Amino acid sequence: MNFEIISKLGISISGDITLPTLPIQKGVCLFIHGLKGFKEWGPWNLVAKSFASKGLAFVKFDFSHNGVNEQGEFTKKDLFRKNTYSLELDDVKSVIDYLFSLQALQKNDAINKLNIIGHSRGGGIGIINSETDSRVKKLATWASVNDFGYGWSEELKEKWRVKGFREIVNTRTGDILMQDVDLLLDYEQNISILDIKSAAKELDKPWILVHGTEDEVVPFNQAIELKAINKKIKLDLIPNGDHVFGSKHPFLNASLPFDLGVVVDHTISFFLD
């Protein structure tokens, strides 16, 4: 089931819903992708089917400013360049508003058992959204950042301000991408809202935090720090797991990588508990 809605700034947000294959819907899971991610990345469709097989509707979408088409090509670099964290939070709210309007998700009161799954940067967005939106009942973060400004040295930020943009490389495609200084300014000017650690401290909902011990993008000590901030978090470390739990794009296998399969199974059990 595909959908398309319009963001707060009038930009398209496309998504899809994999409905449960069981007669009883047990809940709804909203998946939030990370930086340079998109809803058709790697094995995400297989992940969706895994959740649906257990009675959980699985929703994934492309942020309005992720810049990527469904084939994973950066065809909208101008949108990627103008993306901010606040825009992504607005997009998530718009998607949730839409989901609550759907008759297909009302069966067995499924939409009122709404769970969020956030991967990488999407984990940070998911933490903040879960803390501020009472409609979200449970949270799972996979390889999540705990600080949107992680890795931003003072020298980098100064150069960013002077040039008005910074360049980053998409290692998967080789694309050179730009991020306007608006991203940095949004973070600095809205830090009271965009402080992931502060939101984590205040979050009083069931939360499973999954992280690979060999994550090469977001070091697993960021997960340890979040656990120290909020003792109620269920911490689930994946021994030798990497940032994408053994997956890649494109993903041509018929079954999930072992590590990602473990992550999916643990998350489903957590949501259904």
Look at the chain and report how many structural domains it folds into.
1
Residues 206-262 have pLDDT tens digits of: 999 999 999 999 999 999 999 999 999 999 999 999 999 999 999 999 999 999 999
Residues 24-59 have pLDDT tens digits of: 999 999 999 999 999 999 999 999 999 999 999 999
**CATH number for the domain that contains residue 238:** 3.40.50.1820
Residue 108 lies in a domain: yes
Residue 183 lies in a domain: no
b/e burial code for range 123-159 (CB count within 10 A of at least 16 → b): bbbbbbbbbeeeebbbbbbbbbbbbbeeeeeeeebee
User: Can the peptide bond before residue 20 be classed as cis, meaning omega within 30 degrees of 0?
Assistant: no
Distance CA 75, CA 170 (A): 13
Residue 162 lies in a domain: no
Residue 250 lies in a domain: yes
Domain holding 35, by residue range, is 2-149+195-272
User: Angle at CA 55, nearest 5°, toward 52 and 57?
Assistant: 50
Residue 168 lies in a domain: no
- For the question of whether the overall pTM of this predicted structure is more than 0.85, the answer is yes
Residue 92 lies in a domain: yes
CB distance 27 to 112 below 8 Å: no
Residue 157 lies in a domain: no
Distance CA 227, CA 238 (A): 15
